[in-house]
Structure 1
Amino acid sequence: NLIEEWLLSNDFNEKYKKENHPYPSLLDPKKLNDEKEEINYKTIPAELAWEMNLPLPDNYEFVFLLIHGAGTTAMTRYLRLCNISLNRHWGDPVFQYLDSYRMLIKKSNYNVIILAGCLSKANFNLGIKFYNLIQKKIPAICVVRDPISVLRPIVNHYGNLQHPKDKIQSQIDIEKYPVQDNFKIQVPYAYPDQNGNPTLNTVKEYADDKYGDFYILSVKIKELKHRIQKLYYLDMNSILPENSFETLLNLSKIFHFTVPKSSELFFSKANSSDNHVDYLFFPKKLYLRYNNEDISLEIIKQKIVSSEYLDYTKYFTNSPFLIQEIGIKIILHKKYLQYFRSGIVYEKFSSYLHDYLFYLEQFYNKERKKIINEQEILDFMKSNPEVLKKYKLKLDKELVHIKEHRPDIVASWKYYQEFEKMCEELD
């Protein structure tokens, strides 16, 4: 009866029928957002809501138009530091809707909807439906990056089904566990060649949409154009660790969320190309059995250390690479200080750490040599004109909006400008 009443109403005619909306809601969204109504969002399961084309509950403040390879991990981390709830940005569009729906019925939270950066051919129409079920008029943000630089973290992407997480030891008995065994793990690149290393062939595979279409920003903007009040573009540089706190502070004034008082929380290596190596090796607790107690040192990567710990880094390494560039700290809990003063424990840790840190630095340098950079990506495109043409078609369509509204950002993209010159030469 409620469905029939709604479909025959003037409101339905104005909101959906007149504009020939592709996914008309089968119930009145205004009543659904009112918890005093007998049937409202909280009484309807998310799965049924999707089938009935119900727009998402309007308990969200803005949307985040995600571009893979443009600081997704860092930006989502920063937003969560500001006590913002986000839906998960992976999975098919139905999953994203269901996850968003369940998040939004919790009225007390400050919520933001993330729109994932990829759609498969099979899920494309489901994606269009998901976008059309975001019907509240709200602003949006989008972190953008030089499109050629976007390909760099994708080509070098970390994580696959053969993830070695279960083989990674976070606690190591230095009396029993040889140093070399820590470094026998192969980094699990997502798109490896036959030797397990990153490959430029991934550039071609992304041009052919082998893993889905990653150039859908223009699609999201088109589908949401009548709901997005304003799209705020953030250049990737603005969310680098040294700039991130100020950027979030400025955003908080626009979107009215709360930023933590300490800027230290925003200093992170999240954007580092070595972040996958970080995951394998930090944090690590090295311990030995002494006087019936496990005495431990911890190797970490964080700027702030609890007052219960002492920074012992300088006693074990003076490597500028490890200390300044990688940012490691070797810390000791104060309760173990008495054992280190005896000298025996210190000597054992010193011997083990000397070798451990030597191999760690070697491992980093070995992995860095595998990383494919922007110039290599451009050279690959130049040598494969068909690949270059495919990216030209994609980017011409993808960048229409930002070229119109933020030409200054586009002009700052060094590698994209080189890409455009290559395309002109090809013509």
Structure 2
Amino acid sequence: MTLEQIAKLGKIEPNNENLEILTYYKTACQKWLESKEFKNSNWAKKPYPPLLNPDEVVYEKIPDKHAWMLNLPLPKNYDFVLFGSHAAGMHAALPGFFTLCGVCVRSIIPKQMDIVQEEQKGSFGCYCLLHKKLLAMKKVKELGYTKKAYLQITNLILDSDAKKFYSLINASVAINIIRDPISVLRTMVTLPNFADEFSINDDEGRGTGLFLSDEPKAIFSKNPIHYGGILDKNGKIKAIISPELNAISGWLEDREQMFHDGILYDYFKDNIKELYIKQTSDFAGGRGFEAMSELASILDFDEPEQKDRWLFEKHVGEMTNLLPITLYANEKDELFSNEIKTNRNDKNFNKNSAKIVLCTRFDENNRL
């Protein structure tokens, strides 16, 4: 089997760079692709068949960029996939509920607009990002920090490599959280966010923050809470100071965040063996304890404890987009200021500041 034949089978563009990388793995690829084990396996039927035997790959020794080109599925260091739309409780209630049941670690595909580094964008970038996260997840599980972990997919990748990206995710065991569309739109339109003035750039993706030198009365008199969903003339989401009915049209067009369950199911349907569908309403109104008990018995994680029942009855959606928020302190900063800091995007200044992260009990920052 020639390099060109291997590239054709893997749907790889046969340019000089790709062929050079393939040359390094050529012998191992040939041995795998010409074996009866490959030809008689389900791997051969995949739209993007792996060019190395995934069961024999040591993922820590293969660069993520090479793993992508070789069509290697993401490291299976998660126990199930959780997918669905935004505004269905997947970023508010469920992370907390799972944490209470010992499922403490999740990996998430971020929204494209939230990704700062260009190399982490798109299908290829998200694959490389998850590759690193899932290798780290393996270590966390080995240390006994968590018994179970999951891969959460709430943001849809929309580029030309999306089919390949989703084919490299093992969704054999999956949970789909669904919610009626009117409730989804209502939540997105009325969900509060901090205004852009609160954004902090320190290369750690914390999003929002305040300096301890900020004068609270001056800062919070500037309409700190905004709502979004209306597109400006440049097609960007425009922040407004109160929920606006016309924002619905903007959210209806945002396929990355919402109304994409069917698309995700089509990507996953060929490798799903167990699919459990739950509604947001199954976890609301004090029903979260029973719903998590049911999932625990099915997926073999810790059942919720009676002493925590009161936590399963809380409604956290009203505050989730306002946390975490980081307080920054820097000895070079003046003590108080009535003005918004001009150095809020000074990466070095912010990086060298002391930080206090205010977050919920279940936020990943709480475990740093």
* 1:144 aligned partner: 178
Report deviation, 1:2. Answer: 0.7
| Aligned counterpart in structure 2 of residue 11 of structure 1, from 24, 28, 37 | 37
- Paired amino acid for 1:100: L
Distance 1:172 1:89 in 2: 34
Q: Is the 8 A contact 1:164 1:185 kept in 2?
A: no
Report deviation, 1:6. Answer: 0.8
Q: Are 1:227 and 2:271 an aligned pair?
A: yes
SS of the residue 2:82 aligns to: strand
Distance 2:174 2:96 in 1: 17
**Structure 1 residues 302-381: aligned runs within 5 Å:** none
SS of the residue 1:188 aligns to: strand
Distance 2:61 2:239 in 1: 52
**TM-score, normalisation: structure 2:** 0.61
Q: Is the 8 A contact 1:62 1:112 kept in 2?
A: yes
Q: Are 1:42 and 2:48 an aligned pair?
A: no
Moved more, 108-117 or 157-166: 157-166
Q: Is the 8 A contact 1:67 1:217 kept in 2?
A: yes
Q: Is the 8 A contact 1:55 1:135 kept in 2?
A: yes
Q: 1:232 to 1:58 in 2, by over 3 A?
A: same
Distance 2:289 2:185 in 1: 26
SS of the residue 1:119 aligns to: coil
**Structure 1 residues 2-401: aligned runs within 5 Å:** 2-15=28-41, 19=45, 21-32=46-57, 40-73=58-91, 74-81=93-100, 82-91=102-111, 92-105=122-135, 106=138, 108=142, 110-120=148-158, 123=159, 125-135=160-170, 138-159=172-193, 162-164=196-198, 182-191=220-229, 195-209=240-254, 212=256, 214-240=258-284, 242-259=286-303, 261=305, 262-263=307-308, 264-272=310-318, 276=321
Report deviation, 1:244. Answer: 1.8
- Paired amino acid for 1:206: W
With CA pairs under 8 Å and 6+ residues apart, which has the higher RCO, 1 or 2? 2
Q: Between Structure 1 and Structure 2, which shows a larger proportion of helix residues?
A: 1
Distance 1:198 1:134 in 2: 37
- Paired amino acid for 2:185: L
Distance 2:225 2:166 in 1: 36
Q: 1:185 to 1:170 in 2, by over 3 A?
A: farther
- Paired amino acid for 2:165: F
Report deviation, 1:27. Answer: 0.5
* 1:320 aligned partner: none
* 2:119 aligned partner: none
Q: Is the 8 A contact 2:86 2:257 kept in 1?
A: no
Distance 1:160 1:17 in 2: 46
Q: 1:158 to 1:101 in 2, by over 3 A?
A: same
Q: 1:230 to 1:195 in 2, by over 3 A?
A: closer
Distance 1:88 1:15 in 2: 30
Q: Is the 8 A contact 2:228 2:240 kept in 1?
A: no
Question: Which structure 1 residue ranges, 4+ long, deviate > 4 Å from structure 2?
Answer: 165-173, 177-183, 192-195, 274-280, 300-303
Unmatched 5+ stretches in structure 1: 33-39, 281-299, 304-427
Q: Is the 8 A contact 2:193 2:322 kept in 1?
A: no
- Paired amino acid for 1:253: S
Distance 2:281 2:194 in 1: 28
Q: Is the 8 A contact 1:240 1:271 kept in 2?
A: no
SS of the residue 1:228 aligns to: coil
Unmatched 5+ stretches in structure 2: 1-26, 112-121, 201-207, 231-237, 326-357, 362-368
Q: Among the aligned pairs, what percent are the same residue?
A: 26
SS of the residue 1:30 aligns to: coil
Q: 1:112 to 1:88 in 2, by over 3 A?
A: same
Distance 1:301 1:132 in 2: 34
- Paired amino acid for 2:131: Y
- Paired amino acid for 2:317: N
Distance 1:8 1:26 in 2: 10
Q: 1:78 to 1:170 in 2, by over 3 A?
A: farther
SS of the residue 2:273 aligns to: strand
Larger radius of gyration: 1
Q: Deviations over 1:136-159 (max 9, x none)?
A: 6x3211221111111112223443
Tell me how large the CA RMSD over aligned residues is: 3.7
Report deviation, 1:84. Answer: 3.2
Distance 1:113 1:271 in 2: 21
Report deviation, 1:182. Answer: 4.2
SS of the residue 2:161 aligns to: helix
**TM-score, normalisation: structure 1:** 0.54
Aligned residues: 269
Q: 1:16 to 1:246 in 2, by over 3 A?
A: closer
